[in-house]
Amino acid sequence: MSTEQCDNPLHADYYADDSVHYTAEVIENEEVAQDTWRIRFRCPAMASKCKPGQFIMLKITDRDDPLIGRPLAVFDITVDQQGVPTDLDAVYLVKGNLTTRLVELPAGQELDVWGPLGNGFLPQQTRHLIMVAGGIGQTPFVTLAREYLGLTNYGRDCPQAEEVTLCYGARNESLLAGVDTFQSVEGLNLRLCTDDGSRGHHGLVTEVLEQVLVADKEAYGSNNGVRVVCCGPEPMMEAVAGVSQRWNVSCQVSLETPMACGIGICFTCVTKVLQSDGTWDYKRTCVEGPVFDASKIVWH
Ligand SMILES: Cc1cc2nc3c(=O)[nH]c(=O)nc-3n(C[C@H](O)[C@H](O)[C@H](O)COP(=O)(O)OP(=O)(O)OC[C@H]3O[C@@H](n4cnc5c(N)ncnc54)[C@H](O)[C@@H]3O)c2cc1C
Ligand code: FES
């Protein structure tokens, strides 16, 4: 994409030109934490295109309720014995119309899925990547961790980080989902916390982030080369953005704004983003995000 095209948010390259639609077979669908399920479905052409931080839209085939799809982050990508991507995993919190029905879908049933969508996390030179997740916000970070640790190549070059840390917080231990998957990522520094102290640090994920930043500064003399990426409830992302600003480290947030079309048409998903002249404008989270520079977000 040329620079001119990049500056024009209405250019067709911002739409879902690289996406594919699948009626995909469900391979597995199982509960992995309290009210939280992991679903795997077969979609090789889509799986081979997905980059860390992108999302998919999902709808149950032949069901009209909900009529429109719902966005879920790509949690993991499964490969066959030859290393060719075959399946995608999403991890979802049971919440409303789609997700309460999704739990009833056994292996062998079909799902309508389209994607990959959104900008995802771009590869950037980073010494220490600190991923901060709250609630169900851990879902974009398995693939990102693997990419920055040099364990998986998602069809693009990514400079390897010296250190990758995940700070992951939930209300209590039973809500922490996918911990075993994160533990299986070789070299990942995993820091858990819970509001009630049932697992990991007893307190907020922002406190864990500050502990990691302190340790990083002690080890390297400064926080140069640190990059924070964050996903979770909006107040938590705003707090993480504030901590990052105080510590003078760059921060990107992956927003979970409600969406209707997912492909740039309906403007349901807009968020206020600061412009270079100091004013703000609405940006569509589905095509100009979901990943944004945290310092540019107008939170209220
Ligand atoms: C890019 C992106 C990635 C996402 N990834 C995941 C993921 O990996 N796992 C996951 O569980 N969820 C994820 N979400 C959130 C998920 O799409 C919503 O929670 C979705 O509404 C669930 O669909 P549902 O039909 O079950 O609930 P709905 O019937 O749509 O909604 C239930 C309730 O939640 C409210 N709601 C709807 N969307 C949101 C939202 N984004 N934030 C807060 N409240 C909302 C509604 O107003 C309603 O009250 C993501 C969202 C985005 C935009
Ligand atoms: S969801 Fe329709 S424009 Fe973003």
What CATH number should be reported for the domain holding residue 69? 2.40.30.10
Residue 298 covered by a domain: no
State the total domains in the chain: 2
CA 98 to chain centre: 19
Residue 290 covered by a domain: no
Distance 288 CA to ligand 2 centre (A): 10
Distance 249 CA to ligand 2 centre (A): 30
What pLDDT shows up at residue 300? 84
Query: CA 10, CA 180: separation in Å to the nearest integer?
Result: 41
Mean pLDDT over 75-81 rounds to 95
Residue 268 beta carbon below 6 angstroms from any ligand 2 atom:
yes
Nearest atom within ligand 1 for CA of residue 140: 8
Residue 68 beta carbon below 6 angstroms from any ligand 2 atom:
no
pLDDT digit string, tens, across residues 239-254: 999 999 999 999 999 9
> Which one of 84, 117, 150 terminates a domain?
117
What pLDDT shows up at residue 17? 77
pLDDT at 4 > cutoff 60: no
Q: Is the peptide bond before 66 cis (omega within 30 degrees of 0)?
A: yes
> Which one of 235, 252, 269 terminates a domain?
252
Mean pLDDT over 121-127 rounds to 95
pLDDT at 171 > cutoff 80: yes
Residue 275 covered by a domain: no
What CATH number should be reported for the domain holding residue 155? 3.40.50.80
pLDDT at 1 > cutoff 60: no
- The residue contributing the CA closest to ligand 1 atom 52 is 256
Distance 259 CA to ligand 1 centre (A): 8
What pLDDT shows up at residue 110? 95
What pLDDT shows up at residue 7? 53
Domain identity same for 110 and 225? no
> Which one of 252, 267, 283 terminates a domain?
252
What pLDDT shows up at residue 277? 95
Distance 131 CA to ligand 1 centre (A): 21
Mean pLDDT over 215-234 rounds to 98
Give the pLDDT band (50/70/90) at residue 3: very low
Nearest atom within ligand 2 for CA of residue 270: 4
Residue 20 covered by a domain: yes
Distance 244 CA to ligand 2 centre (A): 29
Residue 103 covered by a domain: yes
Residue 169 covered by a domain: yes
Domain identity same for 205 and 248? yes
pLDDT at 58 > cutoff 70: yes
131: nearest Cα among 117, 146, 153: 146
Query: CA 170, CA 187: separation in Å to the nearest integer?
Result: 23
* Contact residues for 210 (Cβ-Cβ < 8 A; gap 6+): 243, 247
Residue 269 beta carbon below 6 angstroms from any ligand 2 atom:
yes
Distance 125 CA to ligand 2 centre (A): 30
pLDDT digit string, tens, across residues 264-289: 999 999 999 999 999 999 999 999 99
Domain identity same for 138 and 243? yes
Range of the domain at 108: 16-117
Domain identity same for 247 and 152? yes
What pLDDT shows up at residue 18? 83
| More confident site: 65 or 143 | 143
Mean pLDDT over 118-127 rounds to 95
pTM (predicted TM-score) = 0.94
What pLDDT shows up at residue 5? 47
Where does ligand 1 bind, in terms of residues with CB under 6 Å?
Answer: 55, 66, 70-73, 90-93, 95-99, 136, 139, 256-259, 290
